[in-house]
């Protein structure tokens, strides 16, 4: 292996595009690969990106073929990859759920005792069932798990779900989440934290953190600052600056992106004006 840091990312499927865009947003400047190219060099850092199947990433990292990799946490656990989870990346979020046809009487996992369950995630499914003390027969299928009950291959399924629309379309009802997954950066177990690895974690982490937040700016009546501050779902203290107009201050704060929807009307009610929210490019705590 060369002394350039190598990172494996999924060559196709739903994790390819967001993984590539994370590397781009991180400023690594990976050179756009051609159709069949399996490796891309980065212009701004001594990093090479290898494209491999998402399922194979844990093994490549475990065996030291590459230094780091990006794949789904579900795949790491399903493949029993002996790797370190270095960073959660905030995309590719999905959950492993058990589901039955809507007309079925089951209401919880324990109601699947002694029944046949189709899955393409046999290890994760077996572990979830064992943890719940449920004995069931797992029927391993590759893809299109959700049609298994209709084909009478099984009475229930255990599958990855993100929006739940595939379940609904196929007349299935969830019995709940067994495992939550998202894309993760992984590294070889126990590998020393050398400078390149630490830099990669800091830089990717700065983009992941930034994406989850917005920079909020607004003008607030001076006597409402305490109330507005109490309202903000932020860890740190907001910045409050005087304005030329007496009785009004400018307030700046970093807020979680998913809180904006709830926050804006409340700010308006407290008299905030000129409310702006801006995307954040990078954020290092
Ligand atoms: P793919 O290569 O497109 O099959 O991607 C599979 C990976 O994408 C899974 O291992 C998960 O980590 C992630 N993922 C996110 N949402 C879903 C979903 N609804 N179904 C399956 N995989 C998902």
pTM reported for the whole predicted model: 0.91
Please check whether residue 141 is in contact with residue 120, taking contact to mean a CB–CB distance below 8 angstroms: yes
Measure the CA–CA gap between 244 and 114, rounded to whole angstroms.
Answer: 73
How far is the C-alpha of 115 from the C-alpha of 209, rounded, in Å?
43
Q: pLDDT band for position 2 (50/70/90)?
A: low
pLDDT at 1 over 60: no
**Residues 107 and 186 sit within 8 Å (Cβ to Cβ):** no
pLDDT at 138 over 60: yes
* Token pair belonging to 233: 């779902």
Average confidence (pLDDT) over 183-197: 89
Closest of 133, 90, 78 to residue 111, by C-alpha: 133
pLDDT tens-digit series, residues 18-57: 999 999 999 999 898 777 778 999 999 999 999 999 999 9
pLDDT of residue 193: 78
At 236 the pLDDT is: 84
Cα(14) to ligand 1 centroid in Å equals 6
103 pLDDT higher than 90: yes
Angle of CA points 147, 152, 158, to nearest 5°: 50
Give mean pLDDT, residues 236-249: 95
- The Cα–Cα gap between 17 and 68 comes to 18
Q: Which of 86-100, 114-128, 179-193 has the lowest mean pLDDT?
A: 179-193
75 lines ligand 1 (CB under 6 A): yes
Which residue CA neighbors atom 11 of ligand 1 most closely? 72
pLDDT given for residue 146 in this prediction: 95
Nearest residue by C-alpha to atom 20 in ligand 1:
160
Percentage with pLDDT > 70 across the chain? 99
Within 10 angstroms of residue 247's Cβ, the number of other Cβ atoms is 8
Sheet holding 116-119, edge to edge: 137-140, 116-119, 156-161, 94-101, 172-181
């Amino acid at each position: 292996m060369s002394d350039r840091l190598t990172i494996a990312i999924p060559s196709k499927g739903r994790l390819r595009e967001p993984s590539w865009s994370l590397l781009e947003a991180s400023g690594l400047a990976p050179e756009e690969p051609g159709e069949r190219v399996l490796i891309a060099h980065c212009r701004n850092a001594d990093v090479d990106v290898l494209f491999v199947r998402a399922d194979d990433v844990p093994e490549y990292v475990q065996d030291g073929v590459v230094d780091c990799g990006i794949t789904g946490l579900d795949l790491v656990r399903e493949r029993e990859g002996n790797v370190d989870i270095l960073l959660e990346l905030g995309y590719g979020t999905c959950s492993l759920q058990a589901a039955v046809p809507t007309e079925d009487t089951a209401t919880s996992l324990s109601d699947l005792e002694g029944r046949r369950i189709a899955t393409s995630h046999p290890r994760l499914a077996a572990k979830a069932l064992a943890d719940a003390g449920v004995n069931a027969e797992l029927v391993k299928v590759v893809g299109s798990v959700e049609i298994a009950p209709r084909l009478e291959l099984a009475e229930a399924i255990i599958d990855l779900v993100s929006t739940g629309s595939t379940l609904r379309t196929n007349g299935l009802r969830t019995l709940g989440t067994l495992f939550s997954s998202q894309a993760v950066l992984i590294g070889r177990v126990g590998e020393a934290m050398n400078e390149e690895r630490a830099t990669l974690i800091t830089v990717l982490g700065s983009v992941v953190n930034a994406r989850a937040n917005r920079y909020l700016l607004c003008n607030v009546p001076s006597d409402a600052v305490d109330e507005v501050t109490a309202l903000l779902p932020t860890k740190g203290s907001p910045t409050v600056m005087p304005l030329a107009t007496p009785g009004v201050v400018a307030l700046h704060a970093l807020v979680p992106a998913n809180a904006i929807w709830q926050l804006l009307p409340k700010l308006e009610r407290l008299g905030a004006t000129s409310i702006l929210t801006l995307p954040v490019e990078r954020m290092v705590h």
